[in-house]
Amino acid sequence: MSLFKSTKHTEFCPECGSPLQMKKGKQGLFLGCSNYPACDYLKPLQQTSHIIKTLDERCPECASPLQLKQGHFGMFIGCSHYPECHFTVQENQDVEEAFICPECHHPLLVRTGRAGKTFYGCTGYPTCKFTLASKPVVVECPQCHGGLATIKKQRGKDYYLCANRSCQHLFNLAENEHIE
C-alpha cells in the first residue's frame, strides 16, 4: 500500500447522488455537492453546537426529537435531525409587536449578537436584513412619515433618528427642528 494513496471513502450527496467535495467557508470546513449550483446540499464537518439534553418534545417540521444546545450565540432549542432539518428556537426571540420593520413590515425581534449586545432584527431575515442597534421608539418622522426612530444624544439633548435607512432624518419633536 502506498503512503500517498487516499484511504478515505467518497461520500455521495443524498439529494442528487453526486460526489461530495471538501470546501472551506466562513464557518470552517464542510462537504458540498460537486453538482453545485444545480444542487446546493452541504454538510458541516465541525459541529458548531454542543448538545446539552434531548427533550421529550418533537420538531414541528419533521417530528424528530428536539434538543437543548449551546452554540455561539447562547443556548437554543434545535432539531436533532440537523443539518437535514434547520428548525431552531432561540432563547431570546421575543416578538415586539409594537415595532414593525420599516422596510418589509414584518415584526422586529430582540436578538443578541456575538459580543452579547442586544439588537433588533427583522423576522423577514434573510430576505430582509434590517437591524437596529438600539431599542426603537414609535414616533412619526416629519420628513418621510416613517413610524420608527431611535434616540440619539447630541449636544446634551435627546433627538430622534429616523429608522428608515433612506431617510436618516435627525429631529426633535418638542422643538420641531431639523438638526444638521
Mean pLDDT by 10 residues, the chain (180 residues): 57 86 75 86 71 88 88 76 79 57 85 78 85 88 88 85 89 60
Q: How many helices (H) and strands (E) does the chain have?
A: 0, 16
pLDDT at 4 (0 to 100): 55
Distance between CA atoms of residues 51 and 80, nearest Å: 9
Query: Position 65: which residue type?
Result: P
Distance between CA atoms of residues 154 and 136, nearest Å: 17
pLDDT at 65 (0 to 100): 92
Instruction: Using alpha carbons only, give the angle 114, 48, 71 rounded to the nearest 5 degrees.
Output: 45
99 alpha-carbon distance from chain centroid: 18
Distance between CA atoms of residues 17 and 123, nearest Å: 34
Query: Position 44: which residue type?
Result: P
Residue identified by cell 415595532 is 99
What are the strands of the beta sheet with 65-71, ordered from one edge? 50-58, 65-71, 74-79, 88-90
pLDDT at 12 (0 to 100): 86
Beta strands in the chain (DSSP E): 20-25, 28-33, 42-44, 50-58, 65-71, 74-79, 88-90, 94-100, 107-112, 118-122, 131-132, 137-138, 148-154, 157-162, 170-172, 177-178
